[in-house]
Amino acid sequence: MEGKLTLKCVGILNTDEEIREDEKLEITRILEGEFHCSPVFLPQEMRDKFYQGFCKGILWPVFHMFQDATLEIGKTVEFDFDLWDVYNQVNEMFSEVVCSIYNPGDLIWVHDYHLLVLPGKLRDRAPLAGAKIGFFLHIPWPSSETYRSLPVRGEILRGVLSSTLVGFHLFDYARHFLSACRRLLSLDHSAHRGMLGVEYMGRHVLIRVSHIGIDPDRFARALKDDVVLKRSREMRLQYHGRWILGGVDDLDELKGISLKLLAFEELLKTSWIFREKLMLIQVAIPKKSRVSETTRDEISSLVDRINSTYGMNGRVPVVYIEQDITFSERVALYSIIDTLFLTPLRDGLNLVPYEYIISASEGKGQLVLSEFTGCSKALSAAIRVNPWDISDIASQIDKAFAMSREEITARHTSDSSYVSKHPTSTWAESFLSDLHQASEVTGKLVNLGYFLPSVRSVDLFGFERLNLETLRSSYTGSDKRLLLLDYDGTLTSNSESTRMSFAWAVPGTETMNSLQALASDERNTIFIVSGRTTEVLSKAFESISSIGLIAEHGLQIRYPGECWGPPPTDVDYSWLELAKEIMLRYCERTDGSYIEEKKSGIVWHLGDADPEFGNWQAKDLHGHLCNVLAGYEASVISGRGWLQVRSSMVSKGIITETILQRMSDGEPDFVFCVGDDQTDEDMFKCFGSWSSEKVFTCTVGVKPSNAKYYVRTNLDVSHALETLALGKRNSTESVTFS
């Protein structure tokens, strides 16, 4: 990649010494000037909590599906939110450094589970809102059932989904990630031209499956190095005449070293020739954060038992090395091993087999790998074993040593060719190429999805995040103001779509206080434009009679200070019983769903249903209703966790036009129109031709919309209303309706 890109690296300066502020400046100057590296300085205590506490203590076991987020072996513990806060702080520190060196057009590539929320923090920074961000996870993504044990599961998912391109080593990991998106965030995925994608907040996040490799040339050079050759000759002489099984693992319970030793012991029990000839050289590299004394004691006990039982003539069957080894020692060891033997219970890709394949001597190069090792799926010639099946492992090792020299050579040649053709450089260049191409497409057009009458894409250029100062300035400089506010998901939270959360959703105290203040200003006309019933809205806003209310997407309206008007009498509801009958059939077949009957139509709620099954049922019901009701004046519309059939003569757009027509003293010179779902798009369309200086149409969530502005959550809407309430001026003028 040298010469093609200018690489800038951002990482933690790994030192146990506390660094003074003046030293930080000098270190940064040297690293950036000479090495294109920008350091992130972490105090020792913060680094320990970040790395040992959260990354290795919580994320590592959960992502390897070894234990839940609130479990340790033999006991239950409380999830440590203090460690989560530190993890967020470190990711924020990374985002500050990245932002300081970022130039428009740069590609940003975030690596591994230590920085899962960094893409989201980068997106929140204005200079990086449209940046091309790649993320690659180098460990497995757990099943959705395991992942959901994390109390911060949503925050992590949203952080990763802020990337442009997300990479995994294997499809199994991508599959689990997509399942978590589906089950926890109700997000769908699709495939196009060999790439998976997830629609998230108006962006098409691409999912890439491709595994990293090694640098074969480095190992080829090492095999000719004098130090490696000398060490290799020494070990060949030391273990002359032995058949050598080899293992290089981290000293970690997940690596299955104990099961490996049990399988090796079983092999020695069953064959005198193996007792005489076979040996195991096991390197266990200590990892401070993942080594329990129980694991170490168990391994030591097994090694002692095997060596005391089967050692003979001063030779031991197991050579156990518990220490880190140099690169040269590792290559020398690879060169004398007959068969590499790895039995992880759960693992990422694991590049040790790749290193061994390239380093193995002629006539060697056999692989016996746990089926839970990621690379076992890529290396087709490997013998795959279940690490829990001790007898089968012993049988498979017997099979490996019984192979002819020709078969061993053919297998080794096949895997060696694969490893050589997939070096790290090819993987990196391919990922960055996809990242560049993905951004060019997804930055312009985004698919609106299958629930719309026709699938279409919307240009996102000109779609801006709402600037509160600009909003306030326009508001304070106006005399006739109109505020049209959606209810669910705009004034209330829609983070949960369950039946109870829907039933009890009300605006927060801060939001209500702001609305009360805004309603007291006679220059302001405020309408809550909702799909809720008259009863729900009347109760929610009984303390603010000067706010106008619109129920069931425009079926009924209560003007400020007045009573509810009657629903229209000329609406055709001949389709209602037919739609209800069809919905009831689907409701009976979908646990957790229920039907809500309204005056204007009927709604099927599926927030409590299984997300994946509910999504299938919703898509099927949507298509079925559209076909059956094609000849009626009825519209089939969908949102997050619901599907509704209502009269085509009722919409938020129609009622907005009615309000504007009845404003007797001219059109408003300030409009703030906010909503969060498809039903609000009709409101936004009403102001499409109005002057952009006085109209602020705003959608909640970054997604394709007819609105000009967006905010991220309902909390941002609350902040906007508070900004306007604090910026109001006294006035005696009011807006009246004829």
Q: What is the pLDDT of residues 62-114, one digit of tens each?
A: 999 886 555 554 455 688 999 999 999 999 999 999 999 999 989 999 999 99
pLDDT per position as a tens digit, 303-328? 999 999 999 888 899 999 999 999 99
- pTM metric for this prediction: 0.72
- Which residues are bridge partners to 696 per DSSP? 672
Evaluate if residue 130 carries a pLDDT over 70: yes
Q: What is the rounded average pLDDT of the residues 611-625? A: 87
Domain boundary among 616, 647, 678: 647
pLDDT per position as a tens digit, 677-688? 888 999 999 998
Structure tokens, 418 = 């694969």
Helix, strand, or coil (residue 610): coil
- Which residues are bridge partners to 639 per DSSP? 642
Q: Which domain holds residue 606?
A: 576-647
Pair (589, 702) in one structural domain: no
CA 411 to chain centre: 38
Pair (249, 153) in one structural domain: no
CATH of the domain at 722: 3.40.50.1000
Give the model's pLDDT for residue 500: 65
Evaluate if residue 451 carries a pLDDT over 80: no
For residue 632, the tally of other CB atoms under 10 A from its CB is: 17
In-domain check, residue 451: no
Give the model's pLDDT for residue 456: 34
Pair (252, 337) in one structural domain: yes
- Which residues are bridge partners to 189 per DSSP? 198
More confident residue, 331 or 2: 331
Count helices and strands (H / E) in the chain.
27, 30
Residue 498's alpha-carbon distances to 258, 553, 585, in angstroms, are: 46, 21, 21
pLDDT per position as a tens digit, 153-201? 999 999 999 999 999 998 889 999 999 998 888 888 877 666 788 988 7
In-domain check, residue 436: no
Pair (343, 465) in one structural domain: no
Number of structural domains the chain divides into: 4
150 vs 667: CA distance, rounded Å: 51
Give the model's pLDDT for residue 732: 37
In-domain check, residue 429: no
pLDDT class of 571 with cuts at 50, 70, 90: confident
Evaluate if residue 731 carries a pLDDT over 50: no
Pair (137, 192) in one structural domain: yes
Q: Which residues contact 238 (CB under 8 A, 6 or more apart)?
A: none
Pair (193, 221) in one structural domain: no
Domain boundary among 422, 445, 474: 422
Q: What is the rounded average pLDDT of the residues 416-435? A: 92
For residue 192, the tally of other CB atoms under 10 A from its CB is: 10
In-domain check, residue 3: no
107 vs 101: CA distance, rounded Å: 12
677 vs 254: CA distance, rounded Å: 45
Structure tokens, 473 = 């300035």
CATH of the domain at 613: 3.30.70.1020
Structure tokens, 663 = 């404003």
656 vs 695: CA distance, rounded Å: 14
Structure tokens, 353 = 């087999």
Q: Please report which residue ranges of 365-467 form alpha helices under DSSP H.
A: 390-402, 405-421, 424-442
More confident residue, 688 or 281: 281
Give the model's pLDDT for residue 459: 47
Asked whether the CA dihedral 326, 332, 336, 339 is positive or negative, the reply is positive
Pair (159, 262) in one structural domain: no
Quote the percentage of the chain above a pLDDT of 70: 91
Asked whether the CA dihedral 660, 665, 669, 672 is positive or negative, the reply is negative
Q: Residue type for 614, please?
A: G
CATH of the domain at 21: 3.40.50.2000
Q: What is the rounded average pLDDT of the residues 395-407? A: 91
Strand ranges, E, within 231-365: 243-251, 278-286, 318-321, 339-342
Q: Residue type for 393, please?
A: I
Q: Are 344 and 251 in contact (CB under 8 A)?
A: no
